[in-house]
Amino acid sequence: MHKTLFPAVVLTLALALQPVAALAYIGPGVGAGAIAAVLGVLGSIFLAIVAVLYYPIKRLMKGKKSKSAKTSGGSKPAE
């Protein structure tokens, strides 16, 4: 029983693992849309990272400017 089953299993596996042509076509519109979607996702991730890093740096720079204005005597005339 096992001697007759083994060649059938090997033949089935060999045929199942053979590559088959997909016969698929992606038109220029779908390809351009896929590229645009990938670039949009990557761009939004990049902008989110930049925005998260920019705000604390902006606050830090603004704080340094106001401290230097206070220590230099201030530019406002006394009222």
Model confidence pLDDT, tens digit, residues 21-36: 877 888 889 989 999 9
Residues 42-70 pLDDT 10s: 999 999 999 899 888 888 888 777 766 66
- The rounded distance, in Å, linking the Cα atoms of 25 and 51 is 39
Which residues are within 8 A (CB) of 62 and not within 5 positions of it... i.e. 6 or more apart? none
Q: Evaluate if pTM is beyond 0.85.
A: no
